[in-house]
Amino acid sequence: MVTMNRDTETVHEAYAFVCLHCGHGWEEEYEIRHSTDLSGHRKADYYAHGVRVASPLTRADCPACNRGPIRILRPGRVNVAHAHLP
Ligand SMILES: [Zn+2]
């Protein structure tokens, strides 16, 4: 059976962020849908809590201070990075 989603691969990834301005650290889980468009180009759409969002790699604002810059870490490393902040 052929479906529209046969080329879509969905993965879940959690990213950890830390704000270099205020030191706020947090984690967010994303659903990443890899698919191939009609031109044959691979693309990845990011969803958080069922809502399409921009790639976490382009995120630049901090929810605590609305400034930044934001540093992206792998999950579980927020506390380590926090300890190394000046
Ligand atoms: Zn901040």
DSSP SS3 for 79 = helix
What the block records as the tokens of 49 is 């809590």
8 A C-beta contact, residue 31 and residue 79: no
Q: How far is the CA of 13 from the centre of ligand 1 (A)?
A: 22
> Global pTM?
0.64
Q: How far is the CA of 44 from the centre of ligand 1 (A)?
A: 27
Q: How far is the CA of 9 from the centre of ligand 1 (A)?
A: 33
Residue ranges per structural domain of the chain: 9-83
8 A C-beta contact, residue 46 and residue 28: no
pLDDT of residue 19: 95
* Average pLDDT of adjacent 10-residue blocks, the chain of 86 residues: 64 90 92 90 91 86 92 64 49
